Chains A and B, each alone.
Chain A
């Protein structure tokens, strides 16, 4: 009874409903999924234990390897392009006094739209008949005759571009929030010392927003693992697996090829990869890194 009325446990009581829901919606299915990776379950019917057969097959699967490579590329792209643009824009925005809200809203707006809407807009824009290609052709210019989403050499980058276009506004907002928390006296001192805008950014802004910046890198690395919607809608992983990513590969095996056991093996590897990344960041924090 004392335990129930103990004030120090009150926070726990409020958290219990959420834990309960997570347990049933995420916890149990995750454990089941981990178990299914050792079976050949089709999604219906009998479940046969196959040991590590799915993993052996997976490590020999050229398209799975290709998907992993694409996820790595995707991560690199997102750790560089949107981050750089967002940092630059956020920094420039701090110097804008009038109309800043308009820019913030404009940059953030794509992030508020559903992925399917964003994707359809870009698909229409690059449509070979009705899109920009068709328009250029009508005025005698040979450009964008083929959609970059359906061209093998560009499909992954085109999908990443659209996802990045929707995402970078979010980064602007969080970087901007960090930048407004920087003590203005530091900039005033730098001004007295004759520091340039770049020097102020490099030696004041960036170090001061480091926790937010590192956090953004961590979520980019983690979010790049289950990347799915933009690839699925824009390219379906094609053409010829040229934009295949691990989550889409998992989806195809689970829901199209009736290979739930195999898909679970893919999911298990994704799970351990995320745990690994989170572990690294946790370790760095324990080592005293300000992240």
Chain B
């Protein structure tokens, strides 16, 4: 009897050990965030590891400030994680050109990835005709407003430039800032605003023509767009009261300002949904969102700028290539997992661009986010979408748009000169084949 028990226990221990040891490790270097990391560990890493017996996913978290550089160093050394996470297509382009990423075409065909992803998001990972990256999250820019405050004052949510300027005057008359936003801690914040004005003044069609080389960035319509931004930013101090304050205010500050009625509106990306819900949600006020207003007749009707937040690729030198592919395929084949994780972040993070139905959106998320997701799907589905700079601008023009915008706002150079420089950078990028994938416009 004793012998039977011992052999039974031994066989269980051995089989468990064998199963654990037979799993091969898959590594993933991911941007760290104190709030998000436990959720990724539980609902992505552990869930994947429990779902199959072949691979052991290990997510290594590191702040992006250091992760981007350590990733580059390790990739150069022919090492690096199996799954390569980058901050966007311009980084993918650099790695792809250096031959450091795995061509995913055969896997995409085998597992039908193209049919699972939103078409424009899929094509954002196609470089020189082949798939090299899958978006880990996609996003857009929106205008948030204090709904309670608007209702109390009888203000209408603006949809046009005239309405926007009218309500801005009323907000300022109340002693509040029109928008709260700032670039302290993240200078590229400027590109959010530049993108808004390019798309909503010049119109998405004109931006598409410029990024595909059919139109020059020196076109008057772009000059006018940035002149208007300069006027609103510098002359009228719409963002946080003044240009200097806009530079001095960071993420926590502008959320606090929004929650405490320091400002009535905020221009921001959809990655903020969780922070906004928690911030203003703690006050008695209710928040709302709206598409960014059209700023000229060139931009008719609401549109959403499309953007990729983070990308996932497979390291060409991966120790466990099959495992890395399996993880990506598992993510794309389990939309419940994606929805569950994205819901924890109010669809502000890990919004893998899977094709979802309205019925897929869980009731647990806030009604504002639900309505945004439905509107986003409807409007972009109709082809009304613009282009975010961090997804469609090559590296150097992409940096120029935010780094040198300050020079325009400081009055050191004219908008014309700025755009002339910008065009030269695009010409150079085109010559060096550094442009990024742009989905064909219907």
Interface residues of A (CB under 8 A from B): 42-46, 123, 126-130, 146-147, 149-152, 236, 238-242, 252, 255-259
Could you give, for residues 219-240 of chain B, a 1 whenever the CB lies within 8 Å of some chain A CB and a 0 otherwise? 0000000000000000000000
Task: Tell me the bound Cα distance from A45 to B98 in angstroms.
Answer: 4
Q: Which residues of B contact A43 (CB under 8 A)?
A: 72, 94
B163-204: which residues lie under 8 A (CB-CB) from chain A?
184, 187
Given contacts A44-B72, A256-B399, A257-B395, contact A150 B100 (CB under 8 A): no
- Nearest residue, chain B, Cβ from A131: B248
Question: Do the beta carbons of B245 and A128 come within 8 Å of each other?
Answer: yes
Question: Do the beta carbons of A44 and B75 come within 8 Å of each other?
Answer: yes
Q: How many residues of B contact A (CB 8 A)?
A: 33
Question: Do the beta carbons of B69 and A255 come within 8 Å of each other?
Answer: yes
Question: Do the beta carbons of A45 and B248 come within 8 Å of each other?
Answer: no
What DSSP secondary structure best describes chain B's contact surface? helix
B110-118, B314-322, B356-364, B406-414 - interface stretch: B406-414
Question: Do the beta carbons of B406 and A238 come within 8 Å of each other?
Answer: yes
Question: Do the beta carbons of B97 and A45 come within 8 Å of each other?
Answer: yes
Question: Do the beta carbons of B187 and A238 come within 8 Å of each other?
Answer: yes
A-B contacts counted at CB < 8 A amount to 81
CB distance from B176 to the nearest CB of A (A): 13
Question: Do the beta carbons of A239 and B94 come within 8 Å of each other?
Answer: no
Could you give, for residues 59-84 of chain B, a 1 whenever the CB lies within 8 Å of some chain A CB and a 0 otherwise? 00000000011001001100000000
Q: Which residues of A contact B399 (CB under 8 A)?
A: 252, 256-257
Q: Which residues of B contact A259 (CB under 8 A)?
A: 396
What DSSP secondary structure best describes chain A's contact surface? loop
CB distance from B426 to the nearest CB of A (A): 14
B242 adjacent to chain A (CB < 8 Å):
yes
CB distance from B128 to the nearest CB of A (A): 13
B43 adjacent to chain A (CB < 8 Å):
no
Task: Tell me the bound Cα distance from A151 to B409 in angstroms.
Answer: 12
Task: Tell me the bound Cα distance from A129 to B262 in angstroms.
Answer: 10
Task: Tell me the bound Cα distance from A149 to B249 in angstroms.
Answer: 12
Name which of A42, A149, A239 has the most chain B CB atoms within 10 A of its CB: A239
Task: Tell me the bound Cα distance from A120 to B407 in angstroms.
Answer: 25
Question: Do the beta carbons of B76 and A150 come within 8 Å of each other?
Answer: no
CB distance from A70 to the nearest CB of B (A): 14
Task: Tell me the bound Cα distance from A112 to B370 in angstroms.
Answer: 51
Task: Tell me the bound Cα distance from A146 to B245 in angstroms.
Answer: 6
Across the interface, B253 reaches (CB within 8 A) one of A129, A149, A236, A239, namely A129
Question: Do the beta carbons of A152 and B410 come within 8 Å of each other?
Answer: yes
Question: Do the beta carbons of B94 and A258 come within 8 Å of each other?
Answer: yes
Could you give, for residues 397-422 of chain B, a 1 whenever the CB lies within 8 Å of some chain A CB and a 0 otherwise? 00100010011011010000000000
Task: Tell me the bound Cα distance from A26 to B94 in angstroms.
Answer: 27
- Nearest residue, chain A, Cβ from B188: A256
CB distance from B135 to the nearest CB of A (A): 21
B244 adjacent to chain A (CB < 8 Å):
yes
Q: Which residues of A contact B69 (CB under 8 A)?
A: 255
Given contacts A128-B249, A238-B187, A257-B395, contact A44 B406 (CB under 8 A): no
Q: Which residues of A contact B249 (CB under 8 A)?
A: 128-129
11 A-B pairs with C-beta separation under 8 A:
A43-B72, A45-B97, A123-B184, A128-B248, A129-B253, A149-B247, A151-B244, A239-B406, A239-B409, A241-B407, A255-B68
Interface residues of B (CB under 8 A from A): 68-69, 72, 75-76, 94-95, 97-100, 184, 187, 241-245, 247-249, 253, 257, 262, 395-396, 399, 403, 406-407, 409-410, 412
Q: Which residues of B contact A151 (CB under 8 A)?
A: 244
Given contacts A240-B412, A257-B395, contact A127 B248 (CB under 8 A): yes
Task: Tell me the bound Cα distance from A128 to B262 in angstroms.
Answer: 13
Question: Do the beta carbons of A147 and B244 come within 8 Å of each other?
Answer: yes
Question: Do the beta carbons of A257 and B244 come within 8 Å of each other?
Answer: no
Q: Which residues of B contact A44 (CB under 8 A)?
A: 72, 75-76, 94-95, 97-98, 100
Q: Which residues of A contact B257 (CB under 8 A)?
A: 129
Q: Which residues of A contact B98 (CB under 8 A)?
A: 44-46
Q: Which residues of B contact A42 (CB under 8 A)?
A: 94, 395
Q: Which residues of B contact A149 (CB under 8 A)?
A: 247-248
Task: Tell me the bound Cα distance from A146 to B68 in angstroms.
Answer: 33
Task: Tell me the bound Cα distance from A242 to B411 in angstroms.
Answer: 12
Q: What 8 pairs across the A-B complex have the smallest Cβ distances?
A: A45-B98, A240-B410, A150-B247, A146-B244, A240-B406, A44-B98, A147-B248, A150-B248
- Nearest residue, chain A, Cβ from B75: A44
Q: Which residues of B contact A130 (CB under 8 A)?
A: 253
Task: Tell me the bound Cα distance from A240 to B406 in angstroms.
Answer: 4
Name which of B69, B100, B249, B406 has the most chain A CB atoms within 10 A of its CB: B406
Question: Do the beta carbons of A128 and B97 come within 8 Å of each other?
Answer: no
CB distance from B180 to the nearest CB of A (A): 10
Task: Tell me the bound Cα distance from A240 to B72 in angstroms.
Answer: 29
Q: Which residues of B contact A147 (CB under 8 A)?
A: 244-245, 247-248
Q: Which residues of B contact A241 (CB under 8 A)?
A: 406-407
Task: Tell me the bound Cα distance from A239 to B244 in angstroms.
Answer: 9
CB distance from B74 to the nearest CB of A (A): 12
Across the interface, A146 reaches (CB within 8 A) one of B95, B248, B396, namely B248
Across the interface, B242 reaches (CB within 8 A) one of A45, A146, A252, namely A146
Task: Tell me the bound Cα distance from A128 to B256 in angstroms.
Answer: 14
Question: Do the beta carbons of A150 and B94 come within 8 Å of each other?
Answer: no
CB distance from A134 to the nearest CB of B (A): 11
Q: A44-B100, A240-B410 are in contact. List 14 more A-B contacts (CB 8 A).
A: A42-B395, A43-B72, A44-B75, A44-B94, A128-B245, A129-B249, A146-B242, A147-B244, A149-B247, A150-B244, A150-B245, A242-B410, A252-B403, A257-B399
Given contacts A44-B75, A255-B69, A257-B395, contact A239 B97 (CB under 8 A): no
CB distance from A267 to the nearest CB of B (A): 16
Task: Tell me the bound Cα distance from A259 to B97 in angstroms.
Answer: 15
Q: Which residues of A contact B412 (CB under 8 A)?
A: 240
Name which of A44, A149, A151, A257 has the most chain B CB atoms within 10 A of its CB: A44
Q: Which residues of A contact B95 (CB under 8 A)?
A: 44
Task: Tell me the bound Cα distance from A152 to B409 in angstroms.
Answer: 10
Task: Tell me the bound Cα distance from A43 to B69 in angstroms.
Answer: 10
